[in-house]
Each structure stands twice: as C-alpha cells, then as structure tokens.
C-alpha cells in the first residue's frame, strides 16, 4: 500500500467494518493498528478481524482479492486503499516452526489468543471506540511491557519468528520484555535458525533502521539471537585494539559505540556498514615483537565477508553493493589529506560517498574523536562546490580516434590523463586539451597504437 494519510486509512477501515456490521457480523480493528493508536502513534495499516467467513466477505465486497482466503484473509479495496479482512480464527498444530498446518474459524477471543504478544492482541470497534481486551494487552501497553500471550515457551515453539519479533517490538516500542517471555526467548534463541533468511532479514532491518537500534543490538546479543543470526558480531568481543587509537576498548565496544552515535534516520547500507566495517579485524589481527597490534587488510577482507553475510541473509544487491563499498573504502579516509586533487574528486564523486562520510564520522567519534579528515573533506566539498566534481570531458574517445588513435587501453589512458589535468585545474577547455595532446601524446604509429 502506498503512503496514505492516517484519517483516510482509518476512514476506509471504518467503512469496511460498517458494511460487515450492517450485514449482521462482528467486525473490529485488530492487532498493530489498535496498539499504535492507543500509543498515539501512526499505524502503518489497519487490519480488520470479523466473524464473517471469507466467502461472505467476498460477497459483501465485490472485487475483493481472495489471496490467502484459505487462511481466512481477504483483501478488500475501499476508497482507493487495501485492507486485510481476516475471519476470526484459531491456529491448528505447527509442524514447521513457522506456520500453522491448519486454521479453524473461531471466536474473537480465540482469535486474540492465537496472536503473539498481549499488546498485539487488542481489538477496537472504531464505531463506538470500545476496546476489547481478552489478553491483558491494555495493562501491558500502559506498563510498556512486551509479554507473550499464554505460555511463552509454547508460543515461541509454534512459530520461531516470534523470537525475533519480540526483540523488534521491544526495540521499536521501547518496551521491557516481561521476565518469563524473556527467559523463553533466551532458552529458545537458536531455533530462529529454522526461519527463512528473508523473514530474519526483514526483522533485522526494522530493528537497525529504528532510532532505538542500540537497544535492539543489546537485546539481540543478550537474548542469544545475535549468536544465532550474526555470530560474526559476537566474534568482535575481546578483539583487542591499540589503545592509542582505540581508547574505548575492543572491536565489539567500538562497533556498539558507533551505532549509538548515528543520527536517528539512517540508510540501511549506512547502518549495516557500521555493523560490519571491522568484521574482519579478528581474522586479520597480528601482534609484532614490540606488542603492536595491526589489522592489515581488514577492510578488503571485511568487504568480502560483509558480502557473504548479506547474501546469506538475502539482502538485495541494492543494499549489498553500497554496504560492501563502504566497508572496502573506510580506511581510505586516513589518506585524504595526501591525495592529489583528481584522485580526491573521484573518491568524493562516488554515489556512496555521503554515507561513507557518516560511517567515517562515527568511526572517529567512536574511537579517538579526531575529526580532522572528516573536516578536511567538508572543506574540500565547499571548495569544489562551484562546479561538478566530475565535469563533462574536454575531449572524447571519438576525438582521439579522429586524430588517428585506435580504440584500446592506450586511448583510455590518454583520456584519464586529460581528465586528471582537468580535475587538477590545469586544463579547462577543449582547445587547450587538444594542444596538450599534440605536444604530449602525438598519435603513435599503427604498431604501438594496437597495444
């Protein structure tokens, strides 16, 4: 569903409920939207739960999509929006640790009982404002507690994704996890490995994109879920670093500190690059005779390892490519003051650069706090602001071919040399570039040109 205004969504859901009620059925808002509106937050979508059977819902809303009707869910279009209308149901046995084998249509109370957490088990009648609470969700919302409905062990055994959903809700809602629920999560954490990588990826994404991501990180570690889904992060614990550069402590402490220093809103590649930028420090650590600790090549190996982890978790190429680039390049920032202008401009012109600056910034602030290279780049950005970092070329390959060059690597090198001079400010127009060519790169004979 596209971004729709909250009143329009609520209005649409309310009119769906009105139609169902007018036909003699029970119909209520259910789950996340009730929780979010009681918290005064904007709900993402409004789900309807009803006593009407799927065939009856389809009859009342011609054009409704029957996708998922066997689970009792019908998608209804109303006022340009889509709403999930689910028949009250109870889940049968679970044999795969994720989805019920069967569902049986049931009462509203039974439908509340099959939901995961008490705060997700509330119903609201939008026509009367009445809250229907079979699971103690209201009290838990007020106390800001995340509690499994019923026996926590059993609920996590049925559907292992709930383990990670618990950490996600505790993170985004800022709730405490009720002790029995927490105990069950800690005991059952390894079972998350039976859940599909895509579902794990989606939950991790919600946790790390949320401003409360540091708490999410800690909950993942303390629950044992980090060990189960991202064991590489745990391997950062106890990986000692030279104190002169890293007074904060080991690589794990450094990474965690960086997470806490990010702005609230971040891109997914940025937060993932923070998590993984030093992922290969444990594997590359060396200590010489003087006791000096080094991590040669941790950036390049880290880029490979980051790609492997993100592929394992089924992240898209659109997320993987910029994350890997940021990890691969994060050590280059120490060289920026020594870079020739052409090289610096090319480094800065890459599409991932602004996120890489943010990675570098928290890398510095999460260690010695020396922002001199960051500030240097910001000054250079101002200095270069008047024109594009990479302006249109002064001469083209076609120009060179017209001058008698053959296509090939030598021609590419000449074009790069001219672009270097242009980026350095030594050549600024086509005429000068052509005269420079005449003097410095006369057309080679056929034999040389074919290299």
Report the partner that residue 162 touches, choosing among Mg ion, ligand ATP, none (CB closer than 5 to 8 A by kind). ligand ATP
* Sole window of 28-36, 272-280, 319-327, 431-439 interacting with Mg ion (rule: CB under 5 A): 28-36
Query: Minimum CB separation from Mg ion for residue 120, in Å?
Result: 9
Does residue 99 belong to the site contacting ligand ATP (CB under 6 A)? no
Q: Does 115 bind ligand ATP (CB under 6 A)?
A: yes
Pairing of strands 122-124, 131-133: antiparallel
Selection from Mg ion, ligand ATP, none that 19 binds (CB < 5 to 8 A by kind) is none
Q: Which residue in the set 1, 8, 44, 450 belongs to the binding site for ligand ATP (CB under 6 A)?
A: 44
Decide if 358 contacts 266 (C-beta within 8 A): yes
CB of 99 to ligand ATP, least distance (A): 9
Q: Which H helix or E strand runs over 24?
A: none
Q: Determine the size of the site formed for Mg ion (CB under 5 A).
A: 1
Member of 12, 29, 116, 301 binding ligand ATP (CB under 6 A): 116
Residue 115, binding choice from Mg ion, ligand ATP, none, Cβ under 5 to 8 Å by partner class = ligand ATP
* Cβ closest to ligand ATP, residue 159 vs residue 232: 159
Helices (H), 313-370: 317-329, 341-349, 353-365
Query: In this complex, which beta carbon is closest to ligand ATP, that of residue 115 or of residue 277?
Result: 115
Q: At closest approach, how far in Å is the CB of 31 from ligand ATP?
A: 3
Q: What is the DSSP string of 197-227?
A: HHHHHHHHHHHHHSTTHHHHHHHHHHHTHHH
Query: Considering only residues 12, 32, 137, 269, which one is a binding residue for ligand ATP as defined by CB under 6 A?
Result: 32
Stretch in the footprint of ligand ATP (CB under 6 A) among 115-123, 129-137, 241-249, 322-330: 115-123
Exactly one of 81, 160, 162, 254 binds ligand ATP (CB under 6 A); which one?
162
Span of 157-165, 287-295, 325-333, 382-390 interacting with ligand ATP by CB under 6 A: 157-165
Q: Show the DSSP H helices in 189-316 as ranges.
A: 197-209, 213-223, 225-229, 231-234, 251-261, 268-276, 281-284, 298-312
Altogether, the residues listed in the chain come to a count of 451
Q: How far is the CB of 12 from ligand ATP (least distance, A)?
A: 16
In whole angstroms, the minimum distance from the beta carbon of 314 to ligand ATP comes to 18
Which one of 158-166, 235-243, 257-265, 406-414 is the stretch in contact with ligand ATP (CB under 6 A)?
Answer: 158-166
Cα separation, 106 vs 91, in Å, equals 9
Does residue 170 belong to the site contacting ligand ATP (CB under 6 A)?
A: no
Number of residues that bind ligand ATP (CB under 6 A): 11
Distances in Å between the Cα of 16 and the Cα atoms of 13, 29, 77, 84 are 5, 10, 9, 10
Q: Judge contact between 272 and 310, C-beta under 8 A.
A: yes
Q: Which does 91 bind (CB under 5 to 8 A by kind): ligand ATP, Mg ion, none?
A: none
Residues 285 and 293: beta-carbon distance below 8 Å: yes
Give yes or no for residue 201 binding ligand ATP (CB under 6 A): no
Q: Which residues contact 375 (CB under 8 A, 6 or more apart)?
A: none
Q: From CA 70, how far away is CA 96, in angstroms rounded?
A: 18
Q: Where are the beta strands (DSSP E) in 15-172?
A: 27-30, 47-50, 73-78, 81-87, 89-91, 103-105, 122-124, 131-133, 145-146
Measured distance CA(174)–CA(314) in Å, rounded: 27
Q: Which of 133, 159, 278, 355 binds ligand ATP (CB under 6 A)?
A: 159
Cα distance between residue 122 and residue 118, in whole Å: 7
32 binds Mg ion (CB under 5 A): yes
Contact criterion met (CB below 8 Å) for 117 and 166: yes
Buried/exposed 175-194: b ≥16 CB within 10 Å, e otherwise: bebbeebbebbeebbebbee
List binders of ligand ATP among 252-291 (CB under 6 A). none
Start-to-end CA span in the chain (Å): 56
Q: How far is the CB of 335 from ligand ATP (least distance, A)?
A: 43
**Cβ-based nearer residue to ligand ATP, 44 or 430:** 44
Residues that bind ligand ATP (CB under 6 A): 31-32, 44, 47, 115-116, 120-121, 159, 161-162
């Amino acid at each position: 569903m596209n971004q729709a205004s909250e009143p329009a969504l609520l209005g649409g859901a309310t009119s769906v409920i009105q139609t169902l009620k007018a036909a003699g059925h029970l119909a209520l808002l259910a789950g996340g939207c009730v929780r979010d509106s009681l918290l005064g937050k904007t709900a993402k979508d409004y789900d309807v739960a009803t006593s009407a059977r799927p065939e009856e819902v389809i009859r009342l809303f011609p054009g409704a999509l029957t996708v998922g009707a066997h689970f009792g869910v019908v998608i209804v279009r109303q006022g340009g929006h889509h709403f999930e209308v689910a028949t009250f149901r109870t889940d049968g046995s679970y044999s795969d640790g994720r989805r019920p084998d069967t569902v049986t249509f049931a009462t509203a109370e039974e439908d509340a009982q099959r939901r995961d957490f008490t705060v997700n088990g509330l119903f609201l009648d939008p026509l009367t404002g009445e809250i229907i609470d079979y699971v103690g969700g209201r009290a838990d919302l007020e106390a800001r507690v995340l509690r499994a409905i019923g026996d926590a062990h059993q609920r996590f055994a049925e559907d292992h994704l709930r383990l990670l959903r618990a950490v996600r809700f505790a993170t985004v809602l800022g709730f405490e996890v009720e002790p029995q629920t927490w105990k069950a999560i800690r005991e059952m954490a390894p079972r998350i490995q039976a859940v599909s990588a895509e579902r794990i990826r989606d939950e991790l994404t919600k946790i790390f994109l949320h401003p409360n991501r540091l708490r999410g990180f800690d909950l993942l570690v303390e629950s044992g879920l980090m060990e189960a889904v991202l064991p590489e992060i745990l391997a950062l614990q106890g990986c000692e670093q030279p104190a002169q550069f890293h007074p904060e402590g080991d690589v794990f402490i450094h990474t965690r500190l960086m997470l806490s220093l990010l702005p609230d809103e971040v891109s997914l590649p940025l937060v993932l690059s923070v998590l993984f930028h030093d992922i290969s420090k444990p594997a590359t650590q060396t200590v010489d005779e003087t006791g000096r600790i080094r991590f040669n090549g941790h950036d390049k190996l880290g880029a490979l390892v980051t790609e492997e982890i993100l592929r394992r978790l089924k992240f898209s190429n659109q997320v993987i490519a910029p994350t890997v680039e940021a990890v691969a390049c994060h050590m280059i920032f120490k060289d920026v003051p020594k870079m020739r202008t052409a090289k610096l401009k090319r480094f800065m012109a890459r599409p991932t650069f602004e996120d890489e600056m943010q990675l570098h910034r928290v890398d510095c602030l999460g260690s010695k706090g020396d922002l001199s290279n960051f500030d240097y780049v910001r000054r250079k950005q101002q200095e270069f602001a008047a024109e594009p970092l990479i302006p249109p070329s002064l001469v083209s390959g076609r120009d060179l071919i017209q001058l008698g060059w053959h296509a090939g690597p030598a021609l590419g090198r000449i074009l790069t040399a001219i672009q270097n001079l242009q980026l350095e400010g030594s050549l600024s127009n086509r005429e000068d570039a052509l005269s420079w060519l005449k003097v410095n790169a006369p057309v080679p004979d056929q034999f040389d040109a074919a290299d």
